[in-house]
Structure 1
C-alpha cells in the first residue's frame, strides 16, 4: 500500500497493516551480504519487501579456501587468490548498487587456518571490508535465523553443511535452542586418512556426539547448504519430480536412503551433467551423502525439508525489527508485489473481503492462500492476454517466495491460472497438477473463478464490491449488489458469476438494487 493506505483505519485481519513502507523496513530495502565459506564465496544483495527476501543480485565463486587444510594448516593458496579477487569484485558491485557497506562473515576455513587473520587483514587493506570470523555456534545461530526468515514459528532441527564443518541447531516455536558444530564438512572428510569403513565409523561417532548434546527432536529436519541442495537435486532427478524448486522440497528417510544408494551406483560425471551440478560440488556429494544418511539414522526426523535460506538470510533477519520478523513472509511479499505491479493497488484486500464467504469454513492455512491469491490477482496484467494465465501459474510456482510448500505453490498457481482461464487442461503445467488432490484442484478452480468474477466489479480501492454468501448445504450462492454497483454486473460479469456457480454446483440468488431475489439455476 502507499503511505495513505498505511493510515487507513479499519480491520486489517490477522496479518495486520503492511509494514514494508515503515521507516525500519525501508532501511532494509537493499542489504548486501558476503559469506566467505570453506568451499565458496558468495555475494547476495536483498531488495524490496524486506520480510521476504528478493534477490536483487546473487553471485557465487567456488574458491575451495579450505581444500588441503588438514595437511598444511593454511588456506589453499589458489583458493585464497580467487577469494580475494571475488571479494574485491563484490565490494565494487555493492558500491554501484547502493548496497554498501556490506555485512561479511567468514566460517570454518578462515577461523581454523593459521593464516586466517592475515587473510582478513589483507581483505580489509585492499577493499576496506571488515569480515567477521564467526565460530561454529554462531554459524548455527545464523543458519537457524535464515530458516526462521522463511518459516516463522518453525520447529525441529537445522542442519547446515559447509565445506569444512557441519552445524546443528534446534528451534521450537521460532526460538533458537541448542547449537553445536562438528568437523563433518566434506572437505574435511576428503582429508581424512583411512578406509571407507573407518570414515563411516568416524561419521557415526561424530553424529553421536552431536546427538548427545542436542535434545532428540523427531519433528522436521531443515537442510541448509550447497551439498544438501545438490543431493536434493539428485533426489528430484531419481524420482522424476516435476517442480524443480529446491526451497521447501520434501524428502523422507526412505527417499534419502534410496538416493544415497542411487548416487553410489551412478557414474558421477554423467549424474553431474544430468542434474546441472558443478564438478567441484559433485566431487563432495558422495561424502556429504554419507553424513546425511547418518544424521537421518540417528535423529530420525519424521519430515525433511530443504531450505534455500541460511547464513546470508540469517544476517538479513538479524537486522529486522521484531515486528517485521513476526510477519508472514508470503503475505508481505504478495502485498509488495501488488503495490509494485497491480493496476489498482489495494483492490486485492477488497477482493478478499468479497470472496471470503465462499471459504468461511476453510482452515487458516487455506484462507492465507486465498488472501495471497487476491493480492497477486492482477500483478501480471502486462503479459499478453493469450499467455497471461500461464504466466500467472509460472510466476507463482517458481517465484522466490518463503512460507510455501510445493503443493501450496501449485494451488496458488492454479487459482491464478483460473483467474484468467476457465479450463486448466491443455497447458504445459499439467504434470504439476498431480501435487494436488482432485478436491484441492477444484478448490483452486473455485478460488480462481471467484477472483475472475470479483475483478469485474472494480470501482475503486477500499470500496465495498457488494455481498456474496455461500450456503454449502443448500447449494445456493447469493449475490447482493447496491444500485450504484448494479451497472457493473454486465453480461460478461454475469457469465463469470455463473461459471463460479457451476464449479460450486450451486443455484444462484441475485439481488441488484432491490430486496427481492430471483432464483435461477446455474
Structure 2
C-alpha cells in the first residue's frame, strides 16, 4: 500500500467503477477531509469534515505553530487517516498551505503526518492560486475575472479567462493576519492592500471584471448577505453580490453581536471571530480593483486539484449536464432515456436560447428521480432535487427553472411552485412549466422506456401540437396520454392533434 499522494491498492473481487478519492487539506485555519466518488469531472462528496485547528493564529507573534494547534492537527490527521481506511478509498491527496509553509516548525507537522501515513505536499503560494483558479473554472466554465482565495494565512489571487489561469499571486494577507494589521490602524491595512495589489498591475485591466470569492471566511460573509437580502435559496454557489455590498457588510458587522450572527442560517460559528477582518479586506480589494460584481464559488483548491488531473476531453464537458446525467441514471426505473426524452421534446422548443436549452436537458436528465417517492410528494421531491441539488455550472435563477420544470413534470400542475418566481423572469418560469408538461407527456406516453419515444414524434406546426405515430402503435395513445397532450397544447396556445401514419 502506497500512502499519501498515493495510490492505496486493495483487493476487491470487482474493480470499483467510480473511484474514491480523499483530499486532506491542511490549511492555516482549518484541516479538512473530503472524500469524493463519481465522474472525475464532477465527483460527488461522500464525506466532508473539518477541524478548526488554527495553525496560523500564532504565526505573527511567534513565527511557529502553537503546541495546542499542533496537537489538534495531529489528532485530526490520525482520525482522517483511519476514516480513509474504513471508507476504502482508492487514493489520498494531502496538501498543506500557508501556515505550514511559513511556520518555523511546519516541517514537524509534515513529519507527523508522514508517520500517520500521509505523503503531504506543501503548496507554494502560486500553486495554491493556480488550483483555486482551476477550481472556479471547473465549476463555472465560462468564468472570466479574478479569483480571490482567502485562507487563514494567505490571500491568493488569479486571473482566469477562457478556461485558463493566467497571472497568479500570493500575499501574506490571510484572515488570521488581518487583525494584526488592523490593530495598527485602519489605514495600515488599506496601505498594505494597495502596496500588494499594485504588484499585480491589475488596477487598470481588472476594472469591471467579476471577483470570484473562494474560502470559508468569504463564503460566510456571503451567507450573511444572503440572510440580510432575503435570498430565497440556501445554496451558496454562484450567489452574486453587487460591489457596494462589500462595504455594507463592514457596517453591518459593526452593528451585529455574536448572538445575532449565530442566528444566521448556514453561518459556521467557527468563522464568526474573523468575519469582520474578512469584510474589511474584501471591501478594500473590491474598491482597488473596481470589480463589477462578486460571485461566490463553492469550488476551490481541492476541486482544482481534481480538475487538474482530468483529461482534456473530459474537462470540456458541461459540469451541470454531466452531474445531472449521472444522478438521474442512478435513480431511473429503466435504463436511462434522459437524452432521448430531451430529444423528443426539443422540436417544440426550437426557439429557446442556448442557456435555456441546457437547463431543459438537465431537467430531462433528472426526469425519473422522484418515482420512488409517495405519489403525493413526487412534485416536492423533484423540486428539491432541482433547487437544492449539489450542482455547479448553474446560477440561482437557473436553479429555479430546473426546480420548476421538475415540480411540474412530477405533477405540480401549471402553477409556479410555492415560493418560486423570485429569481427567474416570468417568461422563463412559464417556459419551464411548459418543459415540465412536455416531459410529463413523454414519460406517460413511454412509461419511462425508450422504444415509444424512438417510434413517435412530437411536433409543433400550423397552430397544432401533433403527436405522430404509426397506426399500429395507436394503443399507446391512451386516455392519460390524451389528457397530458391537451394540457401541454393549451399552455402553448396550440390545438392537440394525434397523427397516425
Give CA-to-partner distance per residue, 1:129-184, whole Å, 9 cap, x none: 11100111000011111112212242211110000111000111001100001111
2:461 pairs with 1:492: no
Post-superposition shift, 1:254?
Answer: 2.3
User: Counterpart of 2:8?
Assistant: none
User: Counterpart of 1:455?
Assistant: 443
Q: Which one of the candidate residues 155, 159, 168 is aligned to 1:166?
A: 155
Change (3 A) 1:407 1:117: same
Check conservation: 1:350, 1:464, Cα contact below 8 A: yes
Post-superposition shift, 1:394?
Answer: 0.8
Post-superposition shift, 1:346?
Answer: 2.7
User: Counterpart of 2:11?
Assistant: none
2:100 pairs with 1:138: no
Aligned-partner Cα distance in 2 for 1:99–1:187: 33
Check conservation: 2:29, 2:52, Cα contact below 8 A: yes
Count of equivalent residues: 484
User: Counterpart of 1:43?
Assistant: 33
User: Counterpart of 1:9?
Assistant: none
Aligned-partner Cα distance in 2 for 1:276–1:434: 21
2:309 pairs with 1:319: yes
Aligned-partner Cα distance in 1 for 2:320–2:291: 26
2:21 pairs with 1:31: yes
2:244 pairs with 1:254: yes
Post-superposition shift, 1:276?
Answer: 4.5
Counterparts in 2 of 1:325-474, with a 5 A limit?
A: 325-423=315-413, 425=415, 430-458=418-446, 460-461=449-450, 464-471=454-461, 474=462
2:465 pairs with 1:477: yes
Aligned-partner Cα distance in 2 for 1:182–1:323: 34
1:470 counterpart SS class? strand
Aligned-partner Cα distance in 1 for 2:17–2:66: 38
For structure 2, the residue ranges without an aligned partner over 5 or more in a row are 1-14
Post-superposition shift, 1:189?
Answer: 1.5
User: Counterpart of 1:19?
Assistant: none
Q: Which one of the candidate residues 494, 497, 502 is aligned to 2:490?
A: 502
1:191 counterpart SS class? helix
Post-superposition shift, 1:412?
Answer: 0.6
Aligned-partner Cα distance in 1 for 2:121–2:298: 22
User: Counterpart of 1:21?
Assistant: none
Greater shift, 476-485 or 365-374, is seen at 476-485
1:377 counterpart SS class? coil
Aligned-partner Cα distance in 2 for 1:26–1:319: 19
Q: TM-score, normalised by structure 2?
A: 0.92
Post-superposition shift, 1:202?
Answer: 2.5
Greater shift, 459-468 or 111-120, is seen at 459-468
Check conservation: 2:224, 2:267, Cα contact below 8 A: no
User: Counterpart of 1:287?
Assistant: 277
User: Counterpart of 2:231?
Assistant: 241
User: Counterpart of 1:12?
Assistant: none
Check conservation: 1:108, 1:165, Cα contact below 8 A: yes
Greater shift, 192-201 or 205-214, is seen at 205-214
Change (3 A) 1:464 1:179: same
Aligned-partner Cα distance in 2 for 1:211–1:167: 15
Aligned-partner Cα distance in 2 for 1:297–1:309: 24
Greater shift, 359-368 or 491-500, is seen at 359-368
Question: Alignment RMSD, CA only?
Answer: 2.0
User: Counterpart of 1:63?
Assistant: 53
Aligned-partner Cα distance in 2 for 1:211–1:77: 40
1:380 counterpart SS class? coil
Give CA-to-partner distance per residue, 1:252-310, whole Å, 9 cap, x none: 11222322221222223422333443443111111110111111112222232100100
Aligned-partner Cα distance in 1 for 2:450–2:441: 16
Give CA-to-partner distance per residue, 1:446-474, whole Å, 9 cap, x none: 00000010111216426514111124xx4
Post-superposition shift, 1:338?
Answer: 2.4
Q: Which one of the candidate residues 76, 81, 89 is aligned to 1:91?
A: 81
Q: TM-score, normalised by structure 1?
A: 0.89
User: Counterpart of 1:518?
Assistant: none
2:99 counterpart SS class? helix
Post-superposition shift, 1:213?
Answer: 8.8
Check conservation: 1:156, 1:217, Cα contact below 8 A: no
